[in-house]
Amino acid sequence: MHRCRDLGRVASVRRWTKAAIDCYQRGCVCTNCYYSEFFNGSPQRCQMKATVLELVRVLGKPTSIEDKESVIQ
C-alpha cells in the first residue's frame, strides 16, 4: 500500500481549526483524541493527521495558542 494512501486525502485547507490545533499540539498522536473514539469500530479512518500536515505545508505552523481563541469566535 502506498504511504500517501495511509495518510488519506485532504481537501483544500484554508485555516487552522480548533481540532487541527489540538491534533498538532498532540503531535498527531491519536491517544485521548475525540476522533479516535468516534472512528473506533468504523471502517473509516480519521483524516486529521493528513489535514494537519497539509495545513503546515500550506499555512505554516500555528503561530500560538491564541490562534485557538480566534478560531472559536
In angstroms, rounded to a whole number, what is the distance separating the alpha carbons of residues 22 and 32? Answer: 11
For the stretch 13-47, pLDDT in tens is 889 999 999 999 999 998 888 888 888 888 888 89
Between 25 and 68, the more confident residue is: 25
pTM over 0.85: no
Task: State yes or no: pLDDT of 7 exceeds 70.
Answer: no
Q: What is the mean pLDDT of residues 5-18?
A: 74
In this prediction, residue 21 carries a pLDDT of 95
Query: What is the CB-side half-sphere exposure of residue 1 using CA atoms within 13 A?
Result: 6
